[in-house]
Structure 1
């Protein structure tokens, strides 16, 4: 009878809701450590076995180590680099800084070839870069670096609670796909593999913007017909943009395209939909954000539109969302403009 494979050493960098949930999943079968930049947060999680800031009420597994010392988080991986995995649970805005820190440390630790997986969704403000482009630039000094993106329809709280979820790991490197699957697949978590990094990332970014649009429509009480139309035409928008960036068309019919779009556009836990609902109900964006709601769709909408325009790709729903969020256009005016577009073949 064959023995089960030896456990991995997994370092999850970033103790937001999603990083914490993935660290909890990994710790059930592997050696896992969760790194938080905030020392007080790391100490509180270690003592209370709960991330009260991002996942209140969820008990962390006893096996999960928590630290704010990056060297301590990476040290277990250096002991067995061939059985190591780094998961980046940081937002797009923090991805470059985190990768630059890794670039300065990994070669000296013998971890230049360790698989690195990022989970953030969006385009970088200002540069309109996708996450894989940010990572490639930051790790350019490590020729052997290999990475991929983990995405899919997933609310962190449900994953942390042990409810079923299906995710996709996309990478052109077999070692990344295999290590991620080994770390997370099992129990209530199912992991599928893909090589379409750009497609998975475009789906993860655009679905947030479309979810804001769906929330606006629901806030305006436009009905379920309108919501279905926004989801369907949003999927077409997402696919058109992704294909222009070299993505595979079939990706958008899968978990990271249609699946994630439906979840984020309709789910009660969706922060992007919540922002749209508040906008549709008449609240100002600044007031919504000041109340503590954060949404990647707001952060990346302008960057996505900028990148699409540079490619000559039309994103009418994204353009309408930007007009409402940033240009002072009334939600119903933006809706009327969408409806007034010329008839065309589907």
Structure 2
């Protein structure tokens, strides 16, 4: 296998946070004799990402995912460990390094606030020394996929959130970087804009081989964009695999629902009791059960269900990634 395009070894990032003492006397004491505590935002995180991968980096608020991305982008200096991206040490070689990456922060624009979008892109054209023909070709692509043409004459400060994110994507991808970091790129966007951006990101990953690292709370982004999922909690990596493996790692949340008005709860429970599956009566002849896909074979469960009651309809739903990730977070909180 080729050398990884992103290599993170024992990455750490700590912050000194002031300790606030209560009351007016405490406020004066804080002013004269401040005390600090050390917070570990990222602790001993290690992973590699190969060229052309699309990776989702998930975690609850405060888990350390945005801090990790900022270290990878060269914005923050690690407190310990090592980061290499494209052979660069991002923070110490930042001036040369940033020419080779793209960064999109959903909550913060990289455009010049008072300039029209086209002027921001023209400035970036000069920064990256893009020939005019290449610049025009990429503008045409952004117009086709992101519907950017109507925004070019508008100052960044007058763009809606969805328009601004589309323009930020164009700015980040103008120089065709081999690596793009995306921190909440679809935050606050409506469904149609999200779908357009997801399709665009998946296209550049598959067609151009662009390596993507995505942080998001919208797990629809994960399923649409990423092949690999890493989960961080309390500053530590707790899962690294595919979305399918993530479901299999936990396995719970699979649901079967049967519509059988002549049936009964007792008949269903009697048929599946030895499998550890208990049913719930939802009313109007609907019964459902949640089961662990690692322990219960779905074909056997379905066969027993259909033998127990005269079913008019039966529905199976695999554990949703939202359910699985939530369970993983909750498991970490109780360990």
TM-score w.r.t. the length of structure 1 is 0.27
Point out the structure with the larger helix share.
1
| Higher relative contact order (CA closer than 8 Å, sequence separation 6+) | 2
TM-score w.r.t. the length of structure 2 is 0.27
Computing the radius of gyration over CA atoms, which structure comes out larger, 1 or 2? 2
Point out the structure with the larger strand share.
2
